[in-house]
Structure 1
Amino acid sequence: MSQTSPTVVVLTALAVEYDAVRAHLGDEIEELVHEDGTRVECGRLAGTDWRLAVAELGEGAVNASALTTQILGWLRPQAVLFVGVAGSLKEDVDVGDVVIGTKVYAVQGGKVTPEGFHARPEVWHGSNRLLQAARSALRGQNGVRGHLKPIACGDVVLTDEKSAFAEFIKHTYDDANAIEMEGAGAVHAAHVSGQLDALVIRGISDRANPEKSSEDKGGSQERAAAQAASVAVGVLRKHRPRGSGDSATSKEGPQYGGDHIDFRGGVFNGPVIGKRVDRDR
């Protein structure tokens, strides 16, 4: 596989999410190992120019932020997606739907005063280029109900929609349609890394209520992860690498006002830190 192909990184937290993304890679998959032990698997995303690297980071925003920073500095991708499952915060967002984060809120920052807790939220917006690709991709996704809406992120597993924390989310982040744990850490790392397109895509596996465990045991996480991975692949089929516009086939060239300036030098053509491990799929 050519290492001069433009790279996109897809991050996941759970094995079920990782497996759902990996299923979309081509037959030639290789494992890269960073000198600090972090591993990614890479393969060609069929029908695109992308070299896709998928990583399983584990749970939590702090962990996601640290490992995302490491992976971005290592592989120097043009875009990063965080793909996985989440709980619904809205009645009209059903299990099996997919929420694409127009905004990602870090919900736990604030100040405690004698008058109570005053939220000091942080928010990151999804890349316009990726959001536009998502809008286009969803029009051709059969069997997928997508929502381009904000997502709340906190290091809390929410299983009680009547809890004080659930009421806090509803009151302070009323436009959030889903809640999860890692997105804010990943998009913060992407933000501080410079000019990098980033997006969070979450399949709904539960309603953040006491039935979460039974829904998970019933296979809802597998279905939600598969839906999110399908949407992510659809987005990448629409999202063209910077500098790849062909005036004969694409309306993203300079004559159409397209932005082809690559501030990151995003083609991955540097040395691989660590070692490559060839693996059969």
Structure 2
Amino acid sequence: MNKPFALTIVFFTLSLVHSFTFAQRYKSKPITGLLGAFGAEVALVKESLTKSKTVVVDGITFTTGRIGKQRVVVAETGIGKVNAAMTTALMLDHFRPKRVLFTGIAGGTNPDLQPGDIVIAGQTAHHDYGSITDKNTPTRQTRNAITREFNPVYFPADSVLMRLAENVVKTVSLEGIPLASGGVSDRPVKVMTGTVVTGDVFVASPEKVKNLRADFKADATEMEGAAVAQVCYQIQVPHLIIRSLSDRADAEAHIAYDKFYPTAARNSAKLVIALVKAL
């Protein structure tokens, strides 16, 4: 056997061993992980549980129970990417969920969307991450700590969960946003599958919204989704991020957020609950 061929065999074998080891690293259990950034986003989900039980892992409170016939574990991540990644990692390590769903609110960056509308994240990305490669080439790609390879800029949602959500939402009664007059908007809640971008900043700037649309074609922006998606992607756990808009991420975002986030949080939670029941 010549030396180049032998080396090829060795490298191929090592590659297979690495792939097999990586694929076998995470062994899931028949339970679904449900996450939200703060109390209002997970309250409805917790209220829907039966046979609930509280488990504290390294100071983070997880609530297990059932939604319909499905076993679930629910947790509040806290706001921001580090908190979201930490809670996701603890959930995966301790409970080994088969899939992870994230429910919550976001700022709308797509001009066709209004508060109360829903974005099912077909993909998520970090809008505040950037680095220079060894070849001095700028990139928005994070690096996978397990494989040492670059992650994609956009973390794709699990296609099965995404399609199921698109079908299930047609059966869910979503709330319209209250008008200033006290009535309810006649405009039906719009639901779309799109791009959600994540950064450690509450966006309240028309200029920033313009940049996010130009750079990422973003439909919504928030502070946790891509962190959850990256952890799940690297551990190879199916995930889906669902966001209901509380504002339009513009100069009036803080005012709109205070007014509309309860309705937005309920709409997102309703979809996630219905999605779990349909699994």
Among 49, 62, 69, the residue aligned to 1:40: 62
Q: Secondary structure at the match of 1:213?
A: helix
Aligned-pair CA distance for 1:118? 5.5
Sequence identity percentage: 27
TM-aligned CA distance change 1:37 to 1:133, over 3 Å: same
The residue type equivalent to 2:116 in the other structure is G
Runs of 5+ consecutive residues of structure 2 not aligned to the other structure: 1-28, 142-152, 175-188
Aligned-pair CA distance for 1:23? 2.4
Runs of 5+ consecutive residues of structure 1 not aligned to the other structure: 240-281
Aligned-pair CA distance for 1:119? 5.5
Aligned residue number for residue 180 of structure 2: none
TM-score between both structures, scaled by the size of structure 1: 0.74
1:130-169 aligned within 5 A: 130-143=161-174, 144-162=189-207, 165-169=208-212
2:110 touches 2:213 (CA, 8 Å); kept in 1? no
Aligned-pair CA distance for 1:24? 2.0
Aligned residue number for residue 190 of structure 1: 232
Aligned-pair CA distance for 1:67? 1.9
Among 213, 222, 227, the residue aligned to 1:180: 222
Give distance in 1, aligned partners of 2:161 and 2:253: 30
Aligned-pair CA distance for 1:20? 2.7
1:113-262 aligned within 5 A: 120-121=140-141, 122-143=153-174, 144-162=189-207, 165-174=208-217, 176-194=218-236, 196-218=237-259, 220-239=260-279
Aligned-pair CA distance for 1:129? 1.1
Give distance in 1, aligned partners of 2:47 and 2:110: 30
Among 16, 41, 60, the residue aligned to 2:80: 60
Task: List per-residue Cα deviations over 1:124-177 (Å, max 9, x = no partner).
Answer: 000011011112102212335311111111111111112xx3332122112x21
TM-score between both structures, scaled by the size of structure 2: 0.75
Give distance in 2, aligned partners of 1:92 and 1:119: 29
Deviates most, 206-215 or 94-103: 206-215
Aligned-pair CA distance for 1:193? 1.6
